[in-house]
């Protein structure tokens, strides 16, 4: 299987599985506990069905949206994900560049393997930085100053990760801190020599934003689990989020909001957006899916702040359903991660091309020439 044979997220998932040593594939792919929430995130879209209109004039197509103060060409952008260079040596730069090629926004994780500054310089496209508030508050606020310097467009504060979720696949494969690779997983590294050689010969692996500040950040092959549990500040509250918003002074989203009450609190403290998200089913298993919460949150705060849906998006029709329900835009995580693992920039370029094409085709099939036409009248709900 090659990149040009990949037509959808499931295909890229298969290719990523072939290309990556098993512990790394499972680190991307897995969710927490029994993965009930991971599955529900995508299945939730099946709870509504699209109602198409016929014979509308579809000679033009308008997919662009303004989100977090940025004009993007279509209503999907890239979620922040940790340690991309573990999956392909081109890492975060490949994803940022592909996002720019496709005129959409890239989000960089606090736990990235390429620094805020290097990604900032890599493209002139819109960029969102994902903030984790660390026990080292000084360093956390410095992230904000660094993003100002590096001309980022927006910041999102992730609030669902005070402790790492229980990703048991990582325990079985040894993707924990310190890494304990089992005989089986060592065999998997040996049978993926191109990945292993790249890992050994390319740039040293590190958590680039914290390297030099926190010793766990400068380690070799690691997972984020031990890092999260030792470094993240569990005492943070809405007051801290408010302080971060003030320090930044530009578009700011709270990522990981799932309840109507939290969405209202986010609006009250001056956030520009909520990202409805359960971290791709990697945190609290048994929690509800972003799409399940979308209508209530849109009804409660949609006239005050932007509502962005993050989690489970695999198809163009998922995006159309979310927008019809009232989301301003959607984000994808695994949708580009499998692709970057499959082939770096070329993989993400193809994944974004295919998803955008799907959205455009689905819009025509829906009889809509502009995403402004998507509303709840387009959804059949039981
Ligand atoms: C491998 C991996 C690493 C992630 N790392 C982060 C992170 O560092 N910060 C964060 O806010 N979210 C992180 N996420 C969650 C994503 O931002 C996003 O919420 C999730 O992937 C959306 O679900 P989807 O994968 O179904 O699209 C990560 C997700 C994955 C799969």
What's this model's pTM, rounded to 2 decimal places?
A: 0.95
pLDDT classification of 203: cutoffs 50, 70, 90 = confident
Question: What's the chain's average pLDDT?
Answer: 93
For range 197-226, the mean pLDDT: 72
For range 312-336, the mean pLDDT: 98
- Burial of 169-202, coded b for 16+ CB within 10 Å and e otherwise, reads bbeebbbbbebebeeebeebbeebeebeeebeee
Q: Give SS3 for 264.
A: helix
pLDDT classification of 218: cutoffs 50, 70, 90 = low
Query: Of 300, 299, 307, which Cα lies nearest the Cα of 68?
Result: 307
- Looking at residue 188, what is its pLDDT? 79
For range 326-344, the mean pLDDT: 98
- Looking at residue 328, what is its pLDDT? 98
> Rounded to whole angstroms, how far apart are CA atoms 316 and 304?
27
For range 134-142, the mean pLDDT: 93
Cα(331) to ligand 1 centroid in Å equals 10
Q: Which atom of ligand 1 is nearest to the CA of 275?
A: 19
For range 168-190, the mean pLDDT: 74
**Is 80 exceeded by the pLDDT of residue 224?**
no
Percentages of the chain per state (helix, strand, coil), in multiples of 5: 50, 15, 40
**Is 80 exceeded by the pLDDT of residue 217?**
no
Taking each helix axis from N to C terminus, what angle separates 316-325 and 290-301, rounded to the nearest 10 degrees?
30
**Is 90 exceeded by the pLDDT of residue 148?**
yes
**Is 70 exceeded by the pLDDT of residue 321?**
yes
For range 267-272, the mean pLDDT: 98
Phi, psi of 349 (to 5 degrees): -55, -45
**Is 90 exceeded by the pLDDT of residue 379?**
yes
Choice between 301 and 195, residue whose per-residue pLDDT is larger: 301
Q: Which atom of ligand 1 is nearest to the CA of 38?
A: 26
Q: Ligand 1 atom 7: the closest Cα is on which residue?
A: 81
Sheet holding 273-276, edge to edge: 76-78, 329-332, 306-310, 273-276, 252-257, 154-158, 127-131, 106-108
- Percent of the chain scoring above 90 in pLDDT: 79
For range 342-347, the mean pLDDT: 97
Range with the poorest average pLDDT among 173-187, 194-208, 232-246, 336-350: 173-187
Q: Which atom of ligand 1 is nearest to the CA of 278?
A: 19
CA dihedral 156, 159, 162, 165 (to 10 degrees): -100
Query: Of 300, 295, 292, which Cα lies nearest the Cα of 325?
Result: 295
Spatial neighbors of 337 by CB under 8 A, at least 6 apart, are 16, 28, 81, 84, 87
- Looking at residue 175, what is its pLDDT? 74
The pLDDT tens digits of the residues spanning 20-67 come to 998 899 999 999 999 999 999 999 999 999 999 999 888 999 999 999
Q: Give SS3 for 194.
A: helix
Cα(377) to ligand 1 centroid in Å equals 31
- Looking at residue 43, what is its pLDDT? 98
Range with the poorest average pLDDT among 76-90, 205-219, 236-250: 205-219
Contact 359, 316 (CB under 8 A): yes
Taking each helix axis from N to C terminus, what angle separates 22-29 and 334-366, rounded to the nearest 10 degrees?
50
Question: How many structural domains compose the chain?
Answer: 1
**Is 70 exceeded by the pLDDT of residue 178?**
no
279 is catalytic: yes
**Is 70 exceeded by the pLDDT of residue 219?**
no
- Percent of the chain scoring above 70 in pLDDT: 96
Query: By residue range, what is the domain housing residue 355?
Result: 3-381
The domain that holds 200 is classified in CATH as 3.20.20.70
Give helix then strand counts, H and E, for the chain.
15, 12
pLDDT classification of 343: cutoffs 50, 70, 90 = very high
Q: Cα Rg for the chain, rounded, in angstroms?
A: 20
- Looking at residue 182, what is its pLDDT? 74
- Burial of 287-324, coded b for 16+ CB within 10 Å and e otherwise, reads bbbbbbbbbebbebbbeebbbbbbbbbbbbbbbbbbbb
- Looking at residue 170, what is its pLDDT? 83
Residue 134 carries which DSSP code? B
- Looking at residue 229, what is its pLDDT? 86
For range 346-370, the mean pLDDT: 98
- Looking at residue 78, what is its pLDDT? 98
According to DSSP, the residues that pair with 274 across neighbouring strands are 254, 307
Cα(309) to ligand 1 centroid in Å equals 13
Alpha-carbon separation of residue 114 from 10, 59, 89, 154, 210 (angstroms): 27, 42, 11, 18, 10
Q: Ligand 1 atom 13: the closest Cα is on which residue?
A: 81
Choice between 219 and 23, residue whose per-residue pLDDT is larger: 23
**Is 80 exceeded by the pLDDT of residue 173?**
no
Cα(210) to ligand 1 centroid in Å equals 19
Alpha-carbon separation of residue 355 from 9, 24, 62, 96, 365 (angstroms): 9, 24, 16, 17, 15
Q: What is the DSSP string of 279-312?
A: GGGTSSTTPPPHHHHHHHHHHHHTTTSEEEEES-
- Looking at residue 57, what is its pLDDT? 87
Name the catalytic one among 26, 102, 279, 318: 279
Pocket of ligand 1 (CB under 6 A): 27-28, 41, 79-82, 109, 111, 130, 158, 255, 277, 279-280, 282, 310-313, 332-335, 337
Other CB atoms within a 10 A radius of the CB of residue 99 amount to 25
For range 283-287, the mean pLDDT: 97
């Amino acid at each position: 299987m090659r990149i040009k044979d990949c037509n959808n997220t499931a295909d890229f998932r298969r290719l990523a599985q072939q290309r990556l040593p098993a512990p790394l594939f499972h680190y991307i792919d897995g969710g927490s506990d029994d993965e009930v929430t991971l599955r529900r995130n995508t299945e939730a879209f099946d709870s509504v069905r699209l109602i198409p209109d016929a014979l509308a004039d579809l000679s033009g197509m308008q997919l662009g949206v303004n989100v977090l103060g940025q004009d993007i060409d279509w209503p999907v952008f890239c979620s922040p994900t940790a340690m991309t260079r573990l999956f392909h040596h081109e890492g975060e730069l490949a994803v940022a560049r592909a996002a720019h090629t496709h005129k959409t926004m890239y989000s960089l994780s606090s736990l990235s393997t390429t620094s805020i500054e290097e990604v900032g310089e890599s493209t002139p496209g819109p960029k969102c930085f994902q903030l984790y508030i660390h026990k080292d508050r000084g360093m956390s606020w410095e992230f904000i100053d660094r993003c100002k310097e590096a001309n980022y467009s927006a910041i999102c504060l992730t609030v669902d990760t005070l402790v790492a979720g229980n990703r048991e696949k990582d325990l079985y494969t040894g993707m924990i801190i310190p890494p304990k690779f089992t005989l089986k997983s060592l065999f998997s590294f040996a049978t993926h020599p191109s990945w292993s050689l790249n890992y050994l010969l390319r740039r040293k692996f590190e958590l680039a934003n914290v390297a030099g500040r926190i010793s766990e950040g400068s380690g070799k092959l690691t997972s984020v689990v031990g890092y999260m549990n030792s470094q993240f500040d569990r005492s943070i509250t809405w007051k801290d989020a408010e302080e971060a918003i003030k320090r930044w002074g530009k578009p700011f989203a709270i990522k990981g909001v799932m309840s109507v009450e939290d969405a209202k609190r986010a609006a009250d403290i001056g956030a520009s957006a909520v990202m409805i998200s359960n971290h791709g089913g990697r945190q609290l298993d048994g929690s509800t899916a972003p799409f399940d919460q979308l209508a209530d949150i849109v009804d409660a705060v949609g006239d005050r702040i932007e509502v962005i849906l993050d989690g489970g998006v695999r198809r163009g029709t998922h995006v159309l359903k979310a927008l019809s329900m009232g989301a301003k835009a959607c984000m994808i995580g695994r949708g580009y991660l499998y692709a970057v693992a499959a082939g770096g920039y070329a993989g993400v370029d193809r994944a974004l091309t295919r998803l955008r094409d799907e959205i455009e085709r689905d819009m025509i099939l829906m009889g809509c020439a502009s995403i402004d036409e998507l509303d709840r009248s387009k959804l059949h709900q039981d």
